Amino acid sequence: MSYLSISHVTKQFGETVVVDNFNLDIEKGEFVSFLGPSGCGKTTTLRMVAGFEIPTSGTIMLDGKDITDKAPNQRNVGMIFQAYALFPNMTVAENIGFGLRVRKESESAVKERVQEMVNLIGLEKHANKYPYQLSGGQQQRVSLARALAIRPEVLLLDEPLSALDAKIRVSLRAEIRAIQKRLGITAIFVTHDQEEALSISDRIVVMNVGEMEQVGTPFEIYNFPKTQFVANFVGSLNNADAEVVDPANGILAMDGVHFKTAEKDFSNRRKGDKVKISIRPERFSFAAEPMKDNVVDCTIENITFLGSVVRIQILIGKTKFNMDTFNNPFLDLPAIGAHEKVMCSKEAVLVLGSA
């Protein structure tokens, strides 16, 4: 049996279904991210695990115990909020020790644990400071230490990095992941930032309008999206309409240009079916191997420099595609208007729905 089990959980606010039949099993020590746009139900699901919302139906089991209707203060769950939620009237040490004092642990045990936590987050010199004397990143580290101090069974993180600037976000997410691995704590991380979810998680749950679209490892989610929504939400994507030409051999045509796909179920389609195809920009490359699959002619429409990546807009048939290539200052980029050959593997051509 899994450590945390969310079974058939539905949450309604009035007539609105915010989370619909959510099912997920999380193993001990696993780091799972809920990823989706605003209003997809990810935070509501997290709040149901925390006890701030009670499911309309379904059950939540933690370590074999049913916690569905338990009050938040009766679940041993640590929570980190986007807005830090440090108590302004308490110092860093008092904030970290709050949960332990509530549990009536001895003062010596509290002091020892607080010191341990302060060392863990590297804020030894700031233990006697108030939250207003700390930067955003430092405050969120204190929030992490406060949540971990009570030795929670699950750590819940509700968009904890959203209020921080880009550099701090990247370093803090690595720090959170390192601490989570070191302590072996089970964690659920809510975010709308796909890069954050991909970089930090063991598994990702992609959610849309209250439903789970796909659950998988970051590698699976990015490379093998099961729905158009997941493909579009995670990473950049080129979408185009195409027509099935040869189902048995995975051939389809877009504006008269033939592509080959490696989709498993493609042979079930019939010749002439209209489908939507998706290709990630980085799966295109300039054709150095003309004998490979999917080598097609294109016209360079535009080139945009994005730092580490150069985005080249190409025209294949009558459809515009984006093609991403790593920036290399010593390689000449093609001129705008030039005719080139580009290629992509048959595995890169995703068929995610009917047109």
Binding site for another protein (CB under 8 A): 50-52, 71-73, 76-79, 81, 83, 85-89, 98-99, 102-103, 130, 132-138, 146-147, 150, 156, 164-165, 168
Nearer to another protein, 78 or 250 (CB): 78
* Helix, strand and coil in the chain, % to nearest 5: 30, 35, 35
User: Least separation, in Å, of the C-beta of 73 and another protein?
Assistant: 5
**Of the candidates 297, 282, 288, which has an alpha carbon nearest to the alpha carbon of residue 327?**
282
User: Least separation, in Å, of the C-beta of 167 and another protein?
Assistant: 9
Round to whole Å and give the CA distance between 250 and 150.
56
User: Least separation, in Å, of the C-beta of 171 and another protein?
Assistant: 10
User: Least separation, in Å, of the C-beta of 145 and another protein?
Assistant: 12
Nearer to another protein, 114 or 279 (CB): 114
Residue with tokens 């039949």: 21
Strand bridging mode 238-246 / 274-279:
antiparallel
Nearer to another protein, 64 or 88 (CB): 88
74 phi/psi in degrees, rounded to 5: -105, 0
Nearer to another protein, 137 or 218 (CB): 137
Nearer to another protein, 91 or 201 (CB): 91
User: Least separation, in Å, of the C-beta of 102 and another protein?
Assistant: 5
Nearer to another protein, 169 or 260 (CB): 169
Q: Judge contact between 46 and 85, C-beta under 8 A.
A: no
Nearer to another protein, 41 or 99 (CB): 99
User: Least separation, in Å, of the C-beta of 89 and another protein?
Assistant: 4
Q: Which one-letter amino acid corresponds to residue 190?
A: V
Per-position DSSP letters for 186-254, written without gaps between them:
EEEEEES-HHHHHHH-SEEEEEETTEEEEEE-HHHHHHS-SSHHHHHHSS--EEEEEEEEETTTTEEEE
Distance, CA of 196 to chain centre: 6
3-class secondary structure per residue, 317-344: CCEEEEEEEECCCCCCCCCCCCEEEEEC
User: Least separation, in Å, of the C-beta of 325 and another protein?
Assistant: 34
